[in-house]
Structure 1
Amino acid sequence: MQATAASTATVRPTSCLRPRHLALAAAALAAAYAVVVLQPAINIWLRADYSTNVAETREIRLEDGSVAFLGADSAIEVAYDASRRRVRLLSGQAYFEVRKDSVRPFHVEAGSVDTVDLGTAFDVRRRPEGVSIAVNEGSVAVTSPIASQALARPLVAGDWVNVAWSGTVRRGNDAPELVGGWRSGMLAVKDEAISDVIDEIGRHYHGKIIIISSELRNKRLTGVYDLKKPVDAVHAVAQALGARARQVSPWLLVVSSL
């Protein structure tokens, strides 16, 4: 009888500690997730002077009379002083209509890429692989230490440039009226990578859109898509590529090959 009682006494503490250990492990995992996944978003939120949520756009009148149209899930930091006007695009996309000021140039910084207004309206977008700038009217000068020679020539109306973080530069020219078209809720793309198109649509979708085919990611796309109906837009993208889109849950869309 004594041996049985001793055996029972040694089991009880172990069984009581297990839930506690599991709870501590879960808390540690949650904390690690917050640091790795949420910390960048928290840092942006703390720095931003203006921001938008998923599927929200916003028109902001800056102190000098210039206007910034902030895209969905985007954030900017504004710093004006006596010598220059500076806006940092922390995430997402913004379209600027700049009030001319010969004394204080207007800079938009996105990572290591600096766009200087020369009297214009233009669009700047941060992509996972770099930065895109497109000009609606006027001209801008784009500079970056990672691609200085390729950016020597200013951009004028209709010009666009993609600067990858690797230093690769792509330039082109389209109809100027396509620039900033997302402000009306319609996304017009011409020969863009599907991953970039899905990234843009994804900022209007309350969930996650995943492309599970590496072959699809390398394809390019031309079309017009309704950002107010992101699920329909993803289905239209998939159809145009001969692929399929499946809504696995209300918060998850998967694009895959047929």
Structure 2
Amino acid sequence: MSDSTRTAEQQAADWLILLREEPESASLQGRFESWLDDDPVHACAWVAVSETFGTIAEVEPEPGSRWQGTDMAPLRARRRWRWRQGNPGRAAAIRPGQLVAGACAAALMLWFAPAALLNLQSDYVTAPGEVRSVTLADGSTVNLGPGSALAVDYSAKARSVRLLAGEAWFDVEHNPAAPFRVVAGDVQTTVLGTSFDVRRVGGATAVSLKRGRVRVATEGFTRDLSPGQWVRVDEAHGVETGADDPALLGAWQVGAIIASNRPVEEVIDELRPWFGGRIVLLNRALARSRIDGVYNAHEPENALAAIVSRAGGKVQRITPWLIFIT
């Protein structure tokens, strides 16, 4: 192990102590972020020291398109910490050099492996904040929302696409001989010619229809939708149905998020891909509150502040990529 790595680990240990003593200090957090940015070795040393002293570093994967190049940006771009008392004896059994290499490799896999797998499965992907229009082989068009992934499988007798993540608006060319199907999780939507929206967030899927007719099917449920109607299916296959003004559907394509008696948590979920960072909703009562309004997704932080203030909550920005809602 080089002298520079030893120095970095010593500095990381100092930061560990300081951050535990002053977890709410914004200036300290800023200096720590600057130290991480100075050298990729610092990021690896931080992972190693955190693990050695029993610190849990909780990280979540983000789409690979968020980071361009081969530096350590992912490692410093998404992080939050929850401290616990360490076990000093644990460190003696692991050589620091092995720990750094192993911890860094594991950390990078957490970020890149899911994104890489998604990219391999997809024909079209979008980055956070990006809306992309795609024309398929039959002339049907798809507008992909931010942080979305779509796979296409066409044949002479069937047109099938899979929404792997995010949201997409479909304007389908009429062809009775080749039905058009959208699969999102366990939900399948079948159409002949229509304009509709499919959104997949986590394990939940929502389908809403602007014109034409679609059939939505999932485990134990099948429903034909008329214009304005929508269906939401949660992770446990719970089904919710309703209707909105068809003219308001798909407003996200121009950067507008419309809420009409919708839970705060659901509206924030729709806003997340536009932010591209981490939004942590800590107040469960606030999450269930219902709000109305129209919010500008092109300015996600301002939109988030407006959403939360309507429900009596507060927004705390920890880093440029991390926001807490209380």
> How would you bin the TM-score normalised by the shorter chain?
0.7 to 0.9
Is 162-171 or 228-237 further displaced after alignment? 162-171
**Which residue of 221, 227, 246 corresponds with 2:316?**
246
What secondary structure does 1:99 align onto? Answer: coil
- 1:1-258 matches, cutoff 5 A: 21-144=95-218, 146-148=219-221, 151=222, 153-256=223-326
Amino acid at match of 1:48: S
Amino acid at match of 1:237: I
What secondary structure does 1:92 align onto? Answer: strand
Following superposition, the deviation at residue 23 of structure 1 comes to: 3.1
> C-alpha separation between the residues in 2 aligned to 1:208 and 1:82?
42
- What TM-score results when the alignment is normalised by the length of structure 1? 0.86
> C-alpha separation between the residues in 1 aligned to 2:191 and 2:114?
28
> C-alpha separation between the residues in 2 aligned to 1:201 and 1:121?
22
Amino acid at match of 1:107: R
Q: Once superposed, which parts of structure 1, at least 4 consecutive aligned residues long, lie more than 6 Å away? A: none
What secondary structure does 1:40 align onto? Answer: helix
| 1:5 alignment counterpart | none
Following superposition, the deviation at residue 216 of structure 1 comes to: 1.6
> C-alpha separation between the residues in 1 aligned to 2:269 and 2:97?
36
Is 171-180 or 197-206 further displaced after alignment? 197-206
Following superposition, the deviation at residue 195 of structure 1 comes to: 1.8
8 A contact 1:147–1:169 mirrored in 2 = no
Cα-to-partner distance string for 1:156-201 (whole Å, 9 max, x where unaligned): 1000000112111000001001211100111112222222211221
> C-alpha separation between the residues in 1 aligned to 2:300 and 2:254?
14
> C-alpha separation between the residues in 2 aligned to 1:51 and 1:77?
9
> C-alpha separation between the residues in 1 aligned to 2:274 and 2:96?
37
Instruction: Answer 1 or 2: which has greater helix percent.
Output: 2
Following superposition, the deviation at residue 37 of structure 1 comes to: 4.8
Q: Per the alignment, do residues 211 and 61 of structure 1 end up closer, same or farther by CA in structure 2, a change over 3 Å counting?
A: same
8 A contact 1:135–1:157 mirrored in 2 = yes
Amino acid at match of 1:122: F
Taking only aligned residues, the RMSD between alpha carbons, in angstroms, comes to: 1.6
| 1:10 alignment counterpart | none
8 A contact 1:118–1:141 mirrored in 2 = no
Instruction: Answer 1 or 2: which has greater strand percent.
Output: 1
Percent identity over the alignment?
35
Gap runs ≥5 in structure 2: 1-91
8 A contact 2:264–2:308 mirrored in 1 = no
Cα-to-partner distance string for 1:207-256 (whole Å, 9 max, x where unaligned): 21111112222222221110000000010011110111121221111111
8 A contact 1:147–1:163 mirrored in 2 = no
> C-alpha separation between the residues in 2 aligned to 1:193 and 1:23?
48
Amino acid at match of 2:238: T
What secondary structure does 1:167 align onto? Answer: coil
